[in-house]
Amino acid sequence: MPIHWSPELIEQVRTLAFAEGFASAGIAAAPPQSEAATRFSAWIDAGHAGDMDYLKRRNEAGDLLRSSARVAIPWARSVIVCALNYTLAPAPLSIDPADPASGWIAKYAWTGDSEGRPLDYHDDLLRRLRALEVGLKQLVECETRCYVDTGPLLERDFAARAGIGWIGKNTCIINQGVGSWLLLGVIVTSLPMPLTVMLAPDRCGSCTRCIDACPTDALLAPTPEEPTRQMDASRCIAYLTIEKKGVIPVELREPMGRQVFGCDICQEVCPWNRRAPVAEISGLAHRDELVNPALAWLAGLDGPAFKREFAGSPLERTRRKRLLRNVAIAMGNSGDLGFLPQLETWTEGDDAVLAESADWALERLRSRPSASIEATATTAILER
């Protein structure tokens, strides 16, 4: 008789997960097919994945790798899902009043190690998952594989079916006690699991605050024909500032506001995050300098300085050139004419994408009704 998940083993694994700092943990079966896979395929066909080709990968038979855990991992029978609360300190929100000359970096990227050095959550979560993996194999013999955003899996679907929370209208996993400030990590296992679904109650109700607040209309409102919660990632500010290479569509630049890496708006307006707890997690610390960073500071980071500040952090994946493109757009949205010299310098540089973005920002700043008056005043001050 094959070894399988028992209530006792599930509870032992959850205890191990909590010891590693996770706020929630659960186990879901990995069936050959699921409704989520059908919805994912339709989402891909609709073009909502943008340029994220890794989401579109298929096997030789033409099946999307993410259509089932068993497509890429034939021995997969269950998935352990762990959620880490990344709220490490009280902090302002991006929707709070702030200096228009400052940018916004998504909250999940503020994390550093206990010494305040840059840290990529992928590495930290993977370390915690592997410690849990060791503990699991001391309890039972099975095959396992750990992933943090890198596996051919629909993590949020597994998280919902494992009872971590429900998929909100902002398409994030929302936990009633913790909110949605959660990072997900998974361990695929060969242990059979009954198809019992531990779905958390959906408590979004009639609320549409996230949909209404999204500046780029990336969140698709549920309809009777399509009741599932979906996002057009090609319009999402997080996608535009992190994943999107090259030129950002002009019509989406003004709605981006001051976002230079990711976006938190749809989570900040969610009522379930009003009382989201602050976590105390061993080995992790909050990097205060990344909250409302000055655009001028980000613009002034040369190659070595960028590496010093962000090597080993999520921002390293975006790279300096793409970050500067985002900073240029944020400068254009700031209304601050003090950025004109920097933008003019970028228009004359060798980076064609940055030059084009800076040129757009210059035109936007100069088109302000008071721009000519302010520019004249600035010139007069400089000539004194």
Residues taking part in catalysis: 149
Output the CA torsion 346→352→354→360 (10° steps). 90
Pair 181, 26: CB distance under 8 Å: no
Strand, helix or coil at 233? helix
Position 339: which residue type? F
Nearest alpha-carbon partner for 238 in 66, 50, 91? 50
Compute how many other C-beta atoms are within 10 angstroms of the C-beta atom of residue 107.
Answer: 22
Strands (E), 148-305: 166-167, 173-174, 182-189, 219-220, 230-231, 259-261, 284-286
Strand, helix or coil at 185? strand
φ and ψ at residue 361, rounded to 5 degrees: -65, -40
Instruction: Tell me the helix, strand and coil percentages in the chain, rounded to 5.
Output: 45, 15, 40
Which residues are 83's β-sheet partners?
Answer: 24, 184
Strand, helix or coil at 168? coil
